[in-house]
Structures are given as structure tokens and as C-alpha cells.
Amino acid sequence: MTSIDQNGTDMNTPLLKPLGLPLRGPALIEASAGTGKTYTLAMLYLRLILNHGGEAAFGEPLLPHNILVVTFTKAATRELRDRIRQRLVEAAAYLRTQAQPSLAATIKVDELLQELCDTYADEAQQAGAAKRLEMAAEAMDEASISTIHAWCYRVLSEFALHYGGAFEQNLLESETELLKGTSEDFWRLCVLGMSHASLAYMMQRFVGPQTLLGEVRKLLSHGGSLPAASQNLDDHIGQLEGEKKALISKVKADLEASVDELEAYFAEANEAGLYKAAGLNSANKAKALAKIRDFVHSDDSKLEVNKGLQRLAMQDLSIWKDLEQVQVDLLAAKHLAAALDLAEQLPSPDAQILTDACHWFNQHLATKKQQLGLLSNDDLLLRLQQALHGSGGVQLAQAIRQRFPMALVDEFQDTDPVQYDIFNRVYGIRDGCPDAGFIMIGDPKQAIYAFRGGDIYTYLQAREHTSGHHYTLKHNFRSDANLIAAVNGLFSYGDSHALGAFRFRQDSHNPLPFVAVEAGKKTRRQLILDGQAQSSQVAWLAEVDKPGKAIVDKSYVEQMSAATANEVARLLNLSTDNKAVLQEGDQQQPLAPKHMAILVANQKEASAVRKALAQRRIASVYLSDASSVYTTPIAQDVLLLLRAVAHPDDDRLLNMVLPTLLLGLDLADMDALQRDELAWEKQVQRFHGYHQLWQSKGVLALIYQVIFDSHAASRIMSVVGGERLLTDLLHMAELLQQAAMQLDGELSLVRYFETLLDNPDTQDVSQQQRLESDSNLVQVVTIHKSKGLEYPVVFLPFLNKTRLAKSTDMPLVYHDIKHQKQVALVADKAILAAVEHERQTEEIRKLYVALTRASCCQYLGLGEVKNHDKSGLGCLLMLPETVGQLSDYMTTLAQDLPIQPVPEEHTYLPQNTHERQWQGARQAPAIKVKNWYTASYSALNFSSQKDSVSVVGVVEDGVENAPDTAQDAILLEEQHQFVDMDGGAAALEEQAANIHNLPKGALYGTMLHEMLEDCATLGFAEVIANQPARQKIVQAHLLPLELDAWVSAVDEWLLQFLQMPWQLGELSSAPMQLQSLNAQQLLVEMEFLLSTKQVDVRAMDNLVCQHTWQQQTRPQADPKQLNGMLKGYIDLLIEHQGQYFVVDWKSNFLGEDASAYTHEALRDALLHKRYDMQYILYVLALHRLLKSRLPNYDYDQHVGGAVYVFLRGIGNPDTQGLLMDKPAKALIEGLDKLFQGVGGEIV
């Protein structure tokens, strides 16, 4: 039972204390509008990261990827991620300052965050907490914050083994094309083969598959709530058509038999003066009787109703003078009444047709998507739900809980039954979430997305399941105290209704009570006009067109649009004179257009109010949830353009496109063209040119050229809503260009575009209209789009306009007394009443959303339109149905909603517009662009080398073609190395295959590099121990090069090399074996990028030559400047005995056997090829890496040096083919400074 005190406060639900909320188990937080829902979520997130709260803590600190946060839009996920990251950083910074009193005053935080941080008393606790928060903030890009659909996609992919699914799910953005194909399949397979009578009915009722699809599409998500399909739809239609014909025949037969009796009865009554002759004169009576006789002998199934027929049928008794003398039960009159009601009595197969089609569509659509490996967003939910209900569901739920032990679900009022079932299966909400935490936060008063599947009854079910774990937020931090009180007053008044404000009260139980909120801020937020505070909430009342008659909707919309636009103009004019300011506490700012929002229900209302604004020179922007760009007026102009350009010789198409807004010819221009053959021919030639442009450069270039040639941009911008039209035009041009890449020819694109215009897909993200401007404009927003947003001043001009539920609103969705969803395709009075009741309850919730957007003040537009008492406001305030009573009735609510006169006419007059002087554009300063590019060692040229030309290539337009991958770098280096040698796999003749007679050349050197890379990746020890794996590696690299004869020799060489103890000489006293190194000691093909700032290559080379190899002579580097990045790949980085070594493989051929690989020969090869420069750069990269990663890094201690391995010389007993060096620390540090652009002196 819900208990509300006299102030509207819920006495049963405890107020939430964010720092004391138990984080284990379930919790439901009800957060009214403006009460800090996102703030609360972020605070709970901090507690989970820190394991804060003592007994109320989760039990262990969590990382961001273990905390699931779910919300319902991508925009909301971005906002949540940013807000949480900001909160983590803020808390960490505050904790850091607590140990430094001098800095503590520099960071101000709110009381709640300060209270959380104060629980960490000593310096060590503060540092530890700050560190965890900082690490969490850094990991927020990987945080599990997503929409429900994105989370389901992730779960289905990550836990595929638990339910036997695919690891990758291919998402389907739009089902439009699949649905179109499915509809055509159904028509071909199920309709065209029907009997003649059934087919005739289908053709008459639906015409074709496209019309059928339009009706079935609305049912697809409700398939589970529909009755079963018929056994045979053809027989069912035929049977009902037979019953229909029989009923029509009977009614006509009865009517034919009684029409003469009916005529005689009324003739006698007329002679006796029993009825008023003016109500049914002789002429009208004769016409009515003739109509009856014509109907009886026609093939029509419906007798059109009119007053004369109703009076003859005794359905209208207003003409009779004395009802006691009337034979009301006259049989002839009953027969006529049956004919008039015949249309409602005829059996219709429509419901069964749509039911069968829905089931067929769903089944075949699922099969198609399975065959194509596609999933829609709804499929993601259903697939996960099925997996959780399957045989492995318990294990899957446990795995998900282990991965996400804590879940926070935002906007929970928008959850649907499938989503809640998934959460309940995973977290055991009904059982109290024994080994996890599950917190739901939302506001059922803002559940306004039933059209998207949001189900408030699911929320109420969750509320019931979490009984005893409910919390509420009662302070509104958005709005001014007076505005909060005014809104509270309206809903408190509505709560006096027997069913409560939101119409959910049953006896003494109300699962959705209105709970009044209090102002969370002490400072006032007001609109100050000419020194006086504007009333927080006022209303205008539209004038009736005729006394006692309801205002027609059109008049109401026009009046309130004008009133709104006039008030906006008045406020802006006051602001121009510095007489309209927004004030919060002692802070003021001038009122600007962007501070005002006009909330509407749909695009039609938006167009009306934007037109009124434009007439008063006020620019506005329209924001809605989803409007397809293909529904805009300019789309038809584009279609006419494409048709005309595709057929440039078709005069009819040319005449249709030239007068459009896009081409801009007026009536006089068109008349002149018809009289001037040469002028017409010029237009034809112009369109021939457009045709050629389309063929050569595409449709995007065509549309842009037409805009330029016809000055369309300025013309479009000059009309009302021009900015919107121009934005849509450019958007469509982009979409058509993308589509053209998948289509064959211009005519295919025209047909494609025609289809899109006939069937726009508002759910396709690519089609949704873009925001035309983000500048300082008045914002016209749909109520649905405004949810979650805040505006200082809000206008609600059309609150009394509504539309009642109709029997044609298929499907009719409602909930029974047990809150179970029901779907009906045939309406009776009870069903229609249930649907209307749910419509009214959602209208009240929409009203709540609308009334809680303003922070300072708001204006409401009222009017006695038809059914105004059934609008959200009418239902809430129980407005009188009778026209003429609204004004007096509103006096009882004057305290919360006073009526003010409708604003007078105003036009916005921006300040000094007549004095505006255009100034010339500023001259851009001369900027000298420095040559910035990515280079590599292989791009350095050395003048005395025969192969001095860079292997990588020259710099082109400031960009050097540096190698993209390690394989590219190896190949380039090997080409450089063997440029002066003979390549090719020479015949062995009588020699035995060995490493020395392995063919020379870049191809074979690259092969050795890649083979050793594969060995390192597998693990050197594993390569030795696993002979099949080793031989597989050898064969994989040798056989494609037709080196079959060397397989055995290379295998033996590889085995010897991997087992060989490397004698490192002065670098290390401890020998090193590749086979002894584990994966943690190896980094294969390490890529590096070194920033270079105006590095003089000649100066760098001089440093290297002076400080290595006793200044021995070597080729000199050509002059060059490095500015940008220096890119490279180190073959192997090894950690040995706490030191790090750069290892590079060299396949240079120095002689016929190992004896040629002496120390002198290795040194000469190294200097000739300038490998000294290469390894110096590698060691510099290693130095920078270790400096950034190792605590207490010391060059002398941690850098081992460079080891260059000449692979053909490992058999030399003196050198083992190894040439080693450790550059001096001073050299590396000097080069480091040189690369930073701060000099390169070596001390």
C-alpha cells in the first residue's frame, strides 16, 4: 500500500542515500525529473571502483569493464561515459590534494563527494583510492557502458561457446529490403494461387504486396500475442465471402419485400400529421425510397447513410410529434435499419489475413536472416533470451554474472518484457540477486515510449519483484522553487481523481503515485523582465470561433502558434534592450534565442509554429526523434531532376522540373521558354551536359552543379524553412552517391530513389534528418525528443490538442486486468475503451515530461478544441467537457496556472540591424609549412656507396613512402644489401646444399628473416623440441622458392643456431642461448616511431662516426633533414640477465664458408653498409622505451647493446657470426636531445 502525506511525499519509500545504498542484491531507484539521476549513477560507480560503503559495499573493488551500465540510446551512453570519467578524475584529484594542505583549497567538490573522500583518512588510503580512480578513468574507453542492444551483441559474441552460437554476429541496420522481398514472396506463394473469389478479394483489399506490407509491418513485433494462423487462408476467405454474400442477399430480400409497406406507413402518418413535414418532406422521402429500391437491385454491399434513411428506419425519431403514436418496432423499418447497419455486420477476413501474414512473415524473415547470417537489433534480444532459456541457460547466466557482477540500468521505465526477462534470468532479480548486484534507476512518470516497445507494466512488475528495495530521490536540482511548486500543484490536483494522477490507483493501492519533489537549490532561477520576475507558469486561452462550439484544431494551432511567436519576439526585443535576463542567484546573462524551447507533438505542429516564428523574423531549428529525409518536400524536386537528366530529350520531364524550387523558373520564365525555340534548345543542351556529368562524375557532382548553376542555395534559403530544405537536399545527394556505387546505371538509381520515396524507413539511421544548424536559434522540439533535456524558458502551445483511439488504429494494443499485453485486430467497445484508457495514461505521462523541462518558467496554450477534456492536461485536471466552461474552471487552479491575456502582435527587431556594416575578411597570416614526413633508416643515403639511391623512395609532396610493415622493411633492407650481387637459385651442381651456397638476393634474405620470425613467435625451445613443427616452418618458407634441396641443410643449420651459446664478450659474461629464452624475454619485430624535430642527418652522422668504431672511415651520409617521425622495426628484442639487447638478422654473403666471417670482415661489412647507423637508431629507440617503462631506469645497467647476427657465419669458431657493440651513453643521450630539437652536444 502506498501512503502519501499532505505534502505529497511518499511515506513508505525511503529517500536514497547514495553512500549508504547496499550494492549487493537488487535495488530500484525512482528518480523524478531533475533529481540528479546521472549524478547518482556516477556516485554509485565511484563506490564500486573503490569498494566503498563498509557493510553496504559490493564486497570487492571492481574495474570498469566489470561494471555493466545500460541505457537506451547511443547519445545517453556517451553522456554517461563522459560524466562518469569526469567524476572519477574529479574525485582522484581531490584525494591527491588532501595530502597537500596548500593545494586542498584549489579543488572544490560537492558535499556528497567530499563525504565519500573523507572516509579515506590517512595519506596511504587517499593515495591508494586516488590511484584506483585514476586507473578507472584511464580505462573508461573500455568500460562496459552501452545500449541494451550493444550489450546483447557483445554477450552473444563473447559467450558463443555457452549456447552454441556464432562468434561474430552480422548486424542488419534496416530490414526494409528483406521485408519487401518477404512480402513479394508471400504474395507470390500464398495469394496468387488462391481461388478466384479469394484472389479477387485480396486484390480489391490490398492491391499488391506493398500495401499488405504496410499493414503487416505494424504487427511483426506483436506476433507472439496474436492468435494462431488459419489452416487454410484461401478456404477461410472463401467461407467468409460466402457468408457475406448470403447476409447481403437476405438483407436485400427483406428490404425489397418491405419497402412498399414502409412507404405506405409513412404516407398514412403524413396524412394523419403524426410527424413534422419539414423534417421529411415529400421530395426527400421520395429520394430516400428510390435509393432503397436502387440498392436492392444493385451489386452494392453498402447502403450509404443519410438523415432521410435514418428517419425512415426509425433510428432518428426527432421528426415525430408524439412518440406514443409511433410504431417504433415496425418490421419494415427494422429491415431498413439492418441494411443501414449492414457494413458493420458483414464478416471480414481482414484480421485473419493479417494474422496469417504476420506469422508467415516472421517465420520466413527469420529463415532468410539465418541463411544470410544476419541479426536485427530485436533479434539480438530474442537470441539472448532464447539462449538463457535453453539447456545451457544457467551456465550462460553464471558466466555473464562472473563477467559483469554488477549492473546499473538507466531509464529502466523504458524496459520491455524481453529485456527484463534477460536481466531477471542473468541476475535473479526476483530471487534477490544472491551473488551479484542489480540497480535499476528510472521514473515511471516518464514512460512515454510505448510506440517503441517500452512497457510501463514491465516496470511495475519489476517494482513488485523488488519490494522492500525501493528508494527515491526527492530534490529537483533543475527548476526554480516556484516552478516546482506550480507543477506539484497541478499533479497533486490530478491525484485527487479516484484513479490517481496517472490513473493507476486501484482501491487503496497505487503503484504509480505522484510524489511531490522539493527544490534542490537554494538559489532562485528566474526570468527577469524589465526588473520584474516573470511568473513561473502561466497559460493562454484560445478564443472560440463560435459561442458554444468547440474550436477547430486548425484555428487552435494558428492562434497558439501566433501567441507563442509573439511572446518570443517580445522577449527577444526586451533582451535586445537589456531588459530580459536569466538570473540564478547573483549571476545574470541576457536571454538568447537558444534559451527558449517550444515543445510540440509532431512535425505538423512544429511547421505551424516555425512558420509563425519566421513571419516575425525569428530563426528556429527543429529537433525530432526520427524523420526520414525522403519525406521532405525537396525530395520530390530531386526526383524530378533525376528523371529529367536521365531523359534529357523528354520535353514533358523538362517542363516538370524547371518550375521547381531547385531550378527556380517562374511562370513568366516558363511562358518565355515555350515561345522561344532557341532558349528551349539551350535548356535541352544544358540537361544533356548534366547527363554527361552524371555519367562521368556521379550524381553528387550533378546535384552540386545544378545548385551552383541555378543559384538554388540562396533561393531555398529565402523561403520559410529554407535551411531545413537545403540541409535535406545535401543529405540526399550524399545518400544517392553512396547508393549509386551499388547500382548499375542512372535509371537504376532513379528507380531506387522512387522506391525510397514511396517507402521511407524512419528507423534507418542514415535516412534520419540531420540538424540543420547548431547556432543560437529558438529550438522547436518534440516532447519525446525533449526528454532528458533542460531549457530555461519553455512554451507548450498545443496541450489541449489530442486524437482519440480509433477502431482503425491497428493493431489495438492494451493490457488486461493482470497487466498482460493483448493485441486485437477487431475492435469492440470494451477493447476500444481499454486502448483509449492506455492512450490517456501515456498522454498524462507525456504531459509530465513536458512540464518538467523548464528551469525558469513556462507558458501553456489552452483551448476548448474537440475532445480537449481527453488530452493529457484535460485528463489530469479533469477539465469540463462542455464548451464554454474552461475559463471559469481554470480560476480554481489560478494559484498554479493563472490565465493571462494572449500576447499582442510583435516582430523581432534585432539591435542595430540597419547600422550593420560588412567588414572585409581578415587576411590569413603567412604560415611557413615545414616539411613533415615519416622516414626510416633505409631512406638514408650514403654518398660513397654504389647503392646510394634510397630503397624506400623519395619524398613526394612532403610524405615519404616509409615501410608500412615489418615485412616491407625486411624486403627493402635485403634489396639494399644484395643490390650488387647475383640473385636466383643457382644449380647446386656437385656441391652439397648448405647455408653458404643458399642462393643470394633479397628474396632469400627475406625468407630467412621470416623463418626466424616464425620460430620466435612459436618459441625457440618449442621449435627445437617439436621436429614436425620445425620442419613445417622450414618447408613453408623454402618450398615456394623451389629450394627443396636445401630443406634438410637449413633444418640442421636452424637446429645448430638455436642451440648455440652466444658468447657476448664485453657485453655480458653470461652466454645466451635462444632455446633458453621464454616468451616474456622476447619481443618480435618491435615497431617504433621516434619523433624528429629538424634533425640534420649530416650532424647526426658525424656524431655516430666520432663515437663508434674508433672513428674508422665509412661512407658519409648525404645532407638531409628529418622532420616528423622516424619509423623502424627491430628484428628481435631480448631480455637477458636483466639487460635488454637489440638483435638484427643479417644474411650478407661474405665468402664460400664460415672462415670468411672474421671479426674484421664483419666489421667492414657493417661499416660499408652503415649498419652502425641502423643499430644506433635501434638502441636510441630502446633507450626511449625503457626510460618510459622501467622504474629507476639506468642506461648502463639496463641496456645490453646491439648484436648483429650474420646468419651464414655462425659456424666461425672465433666470431660465431656475431658482431656486437654497446654505444656510449653520452652518444645516445646526445642523439636523444638532437631528435628533440634541443641540440646534440656530447659532454
Give per-residue pLDDT as tens, 878-904.
999 999 899 999 999 999 999 999 999
Residue 702 has pLDDT above 80, yes or no: yes
Residue 75 has pLDDT above 50, yes or no: yes
Residue 761 has pLDDT above 80, yes or no: no
In tens, the pLDDT along 1106-1119 reads 999 999 999 999 88
| Alpha-carbon span 919 to 904, nearest angstrom | 37
The residue that leads in pLDDT, 1043 or 1238, is 1043
What pLDDT is attached to residue 1124? 87
Task: Tell the burial category of 416 from Cβ atoms under 10 Å away from its Cβ (0-12, 13-18, 19+).
Answer: buried
pLDDT bin (cut points 50, 70, 90) of residue 1191 is confident
Residue 162 has pLDDT above 90, yes or no: no
What pLDDT is attached to residue 101? 66
Whether pTM exceeds 0.75: no
Residue 18 has pLDDT above 90, yes or no: yes
What pLDDT is attached to residue 963? 57
What pLDDT is attached to residue 964? 54
Selected catalytic residue, list 1144, 1196, 1214, 1221: 1144
- Mean of the per-residue pLDDT values for the chain? 88
What pLDDT is attached to residue 981? 41
| Alpha-carbon span 168 to 589, nearest angstrom | 53
Residue 290 has pLDDT above 80, yes or no: yes
pLDDT bin (cut points 50, 70, 90) of residue 982 is very low
Contact 488, 517 (CB under 8 A): yes
CATH class of 518-622+777-893: alpha beta
Residue 632 has pLDDT above 90, yes or no: no
| Alpha-carbon span 674 to 668, nearest angstrom | 10
Grid coordinates representing 17 are 542515500
Mean pLDDT computed over 366-381: 89
Q: Where are the domains of the chain?
A: 25-74+142-165+377-473, 176-375, 518-622+777-893, 629-760, 937-950+958-1236
Mean pLDDT computed over 618-645: 84
Whether 896 sits among the annotated catalytic residues: the reply is no
| Alpha-carbon span 500 to 848, nearest angstrom | 14
What pLDDT is attached to residue 435? 84
- Report which DSSP code applies to 292: H
Highest mean pLDDT (candidates 768-777, 995-1004, 1084-1093, 1175-1184): 1175-1184
CATH number of 25-74+142-165+377-473: 3.40.50.300
pLDDT bin (cut points 50, 70, 90) of residue 766 is low
In tens, the pLDDT along 825-861 reads 998 899 999 999 999 999 999 999 999 999 999 999 9
Residue 959 has pLDDT above 60, yes or no: no
Contact 712, 702 (CB under 8 A): no
Q: Which fold does the domain 937-950+958-1236 belong to in CATH?
A: Lambda Exonuclease; Chain A (3.90.320)
Residue 1186: closest CA among 1178, 71, 781? 1178
What pLDDT is attached to residue 890? 93
pLDDT bin (cut points 50, 70, 90) of residue 775 is low
Show the CA angle centred on residue 666, arms to residues 662 and 672, nearest 5°. Answer: 125
Mean pLDDT computed over 76-84: 92
Domain 629-760 has CATH 1.10.486.10: yes
The residue that leads in pLDDT, 719 or 1107, is 1107
What pLDDT is attached to residue 947? 44
| Alpha-carbon span 836 to 804, nearest angstrom | 7
pLDDT bin (cut points 50, 70, 90) of residue 373 is confident
pLDDT bin (cut points 50, 70, 90) of residue 912 is low
What pLDDT is attached to residue 1131? 93
Highest mean pLDDT (candidates 67-76, 237-246, 479-488, 1180-1189): 479-488
Residue 156: closest CA among 371, 347, 416, 373? 373
pLDDT bin (cut points 50, 70, 90) of residue 7 is very low
| Alpha-carbon span 494 to 798, nearest angstrom | 19
The residue that leads in pLDDT, 952 or 1240, is 1240
Residue 64 CA to chain centroid, in angstroms? 22
Mean pLDDT computed over 712-732: 86
Order across the sheet with 67-71: list the strands.
145-147, 67-71, 406-409, 437-442, 25-31, 470-473
Task: Tell the burial category of 6 from Cβ atoms under 10 Å away from its Cβ (0-12, 13-18, 19+).
Answer: exposed
Mean pLDDT computed over 287-307: 90
What pLDDT is attached to residue 432? 85
Residue 272: strand, helix, or coil = coil
Q: Which helix (H) or strand (E) holds 846?
A: helix 829-851
What pLDDT is attached to residue 1210? 94
Rounded to the nearest 5°, which phi and psi values hold at 375? -135, 135
pLDDT bin (cut points 50, 70, 90) of residue 279 is confident
What pLDDT is attached to residue 9? 43
What pLDDT is attached to residue 986? 46
What pLDDT is attached to residue 934? 83
CATH class of 176-375: mainly alpha
What pLDDT is attached to residue 927? 65
Mean pLDDT computed over 1014-1024: 91
Q: Please report the DSSP string for 493-533 in residue order.
A: HHTTSTTTTTT--BTTB-SS-----EES-SS-EEEEETTEE
pLDDT bin (cut points 50, 70, 90) of residue 718 is confident
- Where are the extended beta strands (E) located within 58-169? 67-71, 145-147
Task: Tell the burial category of 895 from Cβ atoms under 10 Å away from its Cβ (0-12, 13-18, 19+).
Answer: exposed
| Alpha-carbon span 411 to 1087, nearest angstrom | 45
